[in-house]
Amino acid sequence: MFRFVVAALAAVVLAAPLSAQDYPSRPIRLIVPFPPGGGTDAVSRLVAQELAKSTGWTVVVENKAGAGGMIGLQEAAKARNEGYDIVMGQVDNMVIAPAVQRTGLLDPVKDLTPVIQVASSPFLFMAATDGKYKKLGEWVADAKANPGKVTYGTTGIGSDDHLAALMFEKAAGVKFTHVPFKGAAEVHNAIASKQIFMAAMNIGEALQYQKGGSPLRNLVQMSPARTNLAPELATAREQGYDIEMSSLRGMVGPKGLPKDVRERLVKAVAVSVADPEFQAKAAQFFAPLRYLAPAEYEALVREADMMYRAMWKEMPWADR
């Protein structure tokens, strides 16, 4: 598993070239490729708020959900490359969904311009508090005794939480039945109402739902070590499964985004996310926060693209 490399914020605080001094002269649209209520939506709105506070810019958040996040990416890809249409990309829509869907309509790695990564977060699996599973081992044992009858939910086929579950299936030597939903809110409602046995979800999203008294029980986190958000929750490796997986979220724009405009965006975002108030708010959703400048972010996306495409091909049940 590749490891995230944290770039110094000083490296991304760049002086804006003269040609970009008038940017932005109108509102910037920040596209969220998933429904309201999830972690991507939350961190996007925090970034928009901080940008407005620190720069005076107007940043309008617009949800464009569907097709594992691909609808939102396509919306940004077809926009004019002037820096007024940006989308919050992540592993599932930038890398996994294109490999899974194989539509050929969009290659995010080639058809979009990485701007800056703003956050990353490990995944966890959870069950209903009053459900049949109190420990991870009980879930695995049930799946082994009843192949294909134990259900789990994710935010859609080709999502990063879907791949996390597939990777866990392979590591545990079990077979679950995948139930895809359109977003984290739907997954939460389904597991809370016991429509499904388990759910795979970004740890930040899961804990946000649980703060409201949601009847959910966390069984494992797929991080290299226990996070500060859930220090009591054992990792997959601690429970005997050699696996770790985290999501990443970063801003991307249309292909050919002018370098001076991108640098102005990077400078503004880097200053905003360095604000202690932003970090305190964002830490409620993501653990740990990780910021990468354009070159590092682009390299990470390409590395993830190669890794996940190879993983997907190795999985004989990846079409579920």
222 and 287 assigned to the same domain: no
CATH code of residue 261: 3.40.190.150
Q: What is the per-residue pLDDT for 20?
A: 55
Q: What is the per-residue pLDDT for 120?
A: 76
Single pTM value for the model: 0.68
CA distance readout (Å), 241 to 203, 218, 237, 275, 306: 18, 16, 5, 37, 23
Residue 211 lies in a domain: yes
| R_g of the chain, CA atoms, integer Å | 19
Cα–Cα distance measured from residue 76 to residue 166, given in angstroms and rounded to the nearest whole number: 29
- For residue 311, the one-letter residue type is M
Q: How many domains is the chain partitioned into structurally?
A: 2
- Domain end among 195, 215, 239: 239
> Closest Cα partner for 59 from 23, 11, 34, 20?
23
> Closest Cα partner for 159 from 91, 220, 105?
91
Q: What is the per-residue pLDDT for 290?
A: 64
Q: Could you report the per-residue pLDDT of 16-54, keeping only the tens digit for each?
A: 333 556 899 999 999 999 888 777 888 899 999 999 999
Q: Six-digit token pair at 199?
A: 């759910």
Q: Could you report the per-residue pLDDT of 65-114, keeping only the tens digit for each?
A: 887 788 899 999 999 999 999 999 876 677 766 666 666 667 877 888 98
Cα–Cα distance measured from residue 299 to residue 2, given in angstroms and rounded to the nearest whole number: 11
- Domain end among 239, 264, 285: 239
Q: What is the per-residue pLDDT for 121?
A: 80
257 and 111 assigned to the same domain: yes
- Domain end among 239, 261, 284: 239
Mean per-residue pLDDT pooled into runs of 10, the chain (320 residues): 34 40 92 85 90 94 87 92 92 68 71 85 89 92 92 84 87 92 88 90 81 83 85 93 84 92 91 83 64 73 70 54
CATH code of residue 193: 3.40.190.10
Q: What is the per-residue pLDDT for 318?
A: 45
Q: Are 304 and 95 in contact (CB under 8 A)?
A: yes
Residue 52, domain extent: 9-14+25-120+246-314
Cα–Cα distance measured from residue 280 to residue 118, given in angstroms and rounded to the nearest whole number: 14
Residue 304 lies in a domain: yes
Burial class (CB in 10 A: 0-12, 13-18, 19+), 75: middle
293 and 251 assigned to the same domain: yes
61 and 167 assigned to the same domain: no
Name the β-bridge partners of 119.
249
Cβ partners under 8 Å of residue 79, min gap 6: 85, 254
